[in-house]
Amino acid sequence: MPYEAVIGMEVHAQLITESKMFCHCSSAYASAPPNSHTCPVCLGMPGMLPLANRRAVEATVMMGLALHCAIPLFSKFDRKNYMYPDLPKGYQISQYDMPFARNGSITVPLEQGIKTIRIRRVHLEEDTAKLTHQGGYTLIDFNRSGVPLIEIVTESDIRTAEEAWRYLVALRSILRYLGIGSGNMEEGAMRCEVNISLRPVGREELGTKVEVKNMNSFRAVRQAIAYEIERQTRLLEQGERVEQVTMGWDEANHRTVFQRSKEGAEDYRYFPEPDLPPIIWTEADIDAIRARLPELPDAKLKRLIEQYALKADDAYLLADERATADYFEVAAQACAGVVEAQTVANWLLSELLRLMRESGQELSANPVTAGCLAELLKIVSRGEINATVAKEVLAEMVSSGKSAPEIIQTRGLKQISDADQLRQMVEQVIAANGQAAQQYRDGKDQALRFLIGQVMRQTRGQANVSIVESLLRELLAR
Amino acid sequence: MKLDRDQVLHIAELAKLGLSAEEADRFTVQLSAILEYFELLDQLDTGAIPPTAMAIDQHNVLRKDSAGASLPVETVLQAPRTIGQFIAVKAVLD
Ligand SMILES: [Zn+2]
C-alpha cells in the first residue's frame, strides 16, 4: 500500500538585536566568554521585571507580514512552565493563545510547480541558556538566556523531505531579506523540529505523529525526514505500529534514534505573563511596520523573471539572497542593450559565485563590482576576447582586483579575429590531424569539435571560435 | 471540585517537590479547599466583563533595543558549583 507523509514544522529563529528580549544584556552570546552577558533578569532572580524589546516585537510582526499572516490587534505574552537547568526562572516567557501573527502562507518552488504551505502562527519568546555536558556535570552558560527567538509553525501541509528543505530555504531567505535573522542552522541561529506521520494515500485521517529533533543543518533536516519516512513505511508494511515518540537525528550514523516516549505529554501550565502588559496595535501601527518591508523573495523572483526574461531556476537562485539579486540587477542594467540579462545571470551564477565560494569571499565585499562584471561581459560581446579567456580574466579580477581591460592589455589576451592569421593555423591543424579531418569528411560532426579544440589550444584560447569553425568547414570541404 | 491524591503528586512532580505520604494527604485537602474557593468566585456572572490578561491598565510597554552593562562574571559565579566560567549542576540527560 503506498503511503504519504504528513509533515508539520516548527522553526525557531533567533532575531538579530543588540540587546536581549527582556533586559539590557548584549545578545551577542556566541563570541562572549561564558556567563559574561547576564543580569538578574536573564538569570531569573526573584522579583526582577522584564521589559520587552521593541525591535524584537516589531521584527516578529514584520516576519508575520512577510508570511502573509493576519496581525491580531491584541496580543500578549504567557509563561510556559517547565523545569530544566537551561531555564533559570522555571518558565519561559513565550506566547500561547494570542501570538503576534497567525494564518499566513509561504510559497516554495518545486519541480511540479509552486507549492503553498500554510503558516499557523508566528510568536515571540526568549531563548534558553546553553548547556554542555561534561563528565557528571551539566555546564550552563546564561549568555544565550533571554536572546529573542521567534517560532514559526506550519500547518501539516508538507509532504516530502524536499518540500521541507525548500521551506527552510525560503524561510531563511525571508529572515535575511528582512534583516531580522541569519537563519544559520549550523550556528544554532535557526533550529527546527519536524513532526511526521504516515497515512495511506487518499486517506483523510492522520497516522501517529513522530517528532524529530537535533538537526543542525539544512541537509540534516532533509536526510532525517527521508530516513523517518522510510522507517515508518517499513514498520507499517510489516504490520507494526508507529509509536508516538520523539526521535533525534544521529548525524554520525545517518539515522533517527529514539529519544523519549511522548506518554504523559508535556504539561506546561501556560498562563498570562503578569509582568508584561499586552501589546495593542492600531491599524496605523501595522501599516507603518508594513511600509518598512523590502521587496520579498517571492515578489523579487516574479519580477526578475518578468523584467529580465530569466529562466525560472536562475531567477530563483538569484532571488535567494538579496545581495545577489541586487548585484545582478546592477550588472544587468549596466549591460542593457548590449548583453542579455540571461547571459549576465549565467556568468554571475556559474562563474562569479563559484569563484566566491572558492576564495571564501562575500559577493558584496569582493573587488569585482557589478560594474566590473558588466565591463567584462561587454568586452566579450564585442568579440575582443572569447568566453574561455573571459573566465580566466574574471578569476584574475577576483584575485588581483584589477579591471578586465587592464588584465587583457598586460597579458595580451585579445582575441585573434584576423582571418589570414587563423587560416594558417587551421591549415596546420588539419595537416597534423589527418584522421580527424577524414572522419569529418566521412560525416562525423564530432570530429569538427575536436579540430576546433586543437586550434584553440594552439592559440591558448584566444582564437575567435566562429571564424575558426567557418574556416575549418571551408578548408575541409575542398 | 476535589483534587485526588494522584493529581497532587503530579503537581508536585511538575514542581520538582518531593512529598511525604503525610504531606500528600494534607495538601490534597488544602489544595482542594483553594479550588473550591475559586468555584465560589466562578458563580459570579462575569458575562458582561471582557476577559483580561492583566490587572493594571497598561499596554505596549516596550524599551529601545540598546545593550547596557551586564553583571561582573565574579558575581554570577557565586553559584553553589562552578567549573571554569560555567555554572555547573549535576548532569541532566535529555
Ligand atoms: Zn540580562
A152: phi then psi, degrees, rounded to nearest 5? -115, 120
3-state secondary structure of A33: coil
Is B81 within the bounds of a domain?
A: no
A308 vs A328: CA distance, rounded Å: 10
Q: Which cell numbers in the block locate residue A196?
A: 511526521
B42 vs A478: CA distance, rounded Å: 106
Nearest to A156 by CA among A3, A6, A10, A12: A6
Is B47 within the bounds of a domain?
A: no
Query: What pLDDT shows up at residue A41?
Result: 97
Contact state of A38 with B85 under an 8 Å Cβ cutoff? no
Is B50 within the bounds of a domain?
A: no
Is B21 within the bounds of a domain?
A: yes
Chain A residue whose CA is closest to B57: A277
Within 8 A of B59 by CB-CB distance, chain A residues are 277-280
Contact state of B67 with A35 under an 8 Å Cβ cutoff? no
Q: Domains of chain A, with CATH numbers?
A: 3-289 (no CATH), 297-411 (no CATH), 419-476 (1.10.10.410)
Cβ-nearest to B77 among A35, A81, A277:
A35
Query: What pLDDT shows up at residue A262?
Result: 67
Instruction: Tell me the sheet residues that pair with A74.
Output: A280
**Would an 8 Å CB–CB cutoff place B75 in contact with chain A?**
no
Query: What pLDDT shows up at residue A209?
Result: 93
3-state secondary structure of B78: coil
Torsion, Cα A367 A370 A375 A380, to 10 degrees, reads 100
- Model's pTM, two decimal places? 0.84
Within 8 A of A53 by CB-CB distance, chain B residues are 62-63, 65
For helices A404-411 and A370-381, give the axis angle rounded to 10 degrees: 50
pLDDT digits (tens, 9 = 90+) for B27-74: 999 999 999 999 999 899 999 988 877 778 899 999 999 999 999 999
Give the DSSP letter string of A290-351: HTT----HHHHHHHHHHHH---HHHHHHHHHSHHHHHHHHHHHHHTTTTS-HHHHHHIIIII
Total domains present in chain B: 1
- Rg over alpha carbons for chain A, rounded to the nearest Å, is 29
Cβ-nearest to A85 among B54, B76, B89:
B89
Query: What pLDDT shows up at residue A263?
Result: 57
A208 vs A230: CA distance, rounded Å: 15
Is B58 within the bounds of a domain?
A: no
Torsion, Cα A373 A374 A375 A381, to 10 degrees, reads 110
A170 vs A176: CA distance, rounded Å: 10
Contact state of A36 with B85 under an 8 Å Cβ cutoff? yes
Query: What pLDDT shows up at residue A265?
Result: 54
| Shortest CA gap A285–chain B (Å) | 12
Is B76 within the bounds of a domain?
A: no
Average pLDDT for consecutive 10-residue bins of chain A (478 residues)? 93 98 95 95 94 98 98 96 92 97 95 93 97 93 97 97 96 96 95 95 90 94 96 93 92 89 74 95 97 95 95 93 94 94 95 92 89 94 86 93 90 80 88 89 87 85 85 86
**Would an 8 Å CB–CB cutoff place A225 in contact with chain B?**
no
A1 vs A3: CA distance, rounded Å: 6
A425 vs A419: CA distance, rounded Å: 10
Within 8 A of A277 by CB-CB distance, chain B residues are 54, 56, 58-61
Q: Which cell numbers in the block locate residue B51?
A: 476577559
Q: Please give the distance, rounded to the nearest whole angstrom, from the Cα atom of residue A353 to the centre of ligand 1.
A: 40
**Would an 8 Å CB–CB cutoff place A17 in contact with chain B?**
yes
| Shortest CA gap A228–chain B (Å) | 20
Q: Please give the distance, rounded to the nearest whole angstrom, from the Cα atom of residue A25 to the centre of ligand 1.
A: 4
Residues making up chain B, counted from first to last: 94
Is B61 within the bounds of a domain?
A: no
- Whichever domain contains B23, its CATH number is 1.10.20
Is B72 within the bounds of a domain?
A: no
Which residue segment(s) compose the domain that B14 sits in? 5-42
Cβ-nearest to A55 among B65, B73, B76:
B65
Q: Which of A 265-284 lie inside 8 A of B, CB atoms?
A: 267, 269, 272, 274, 276-280
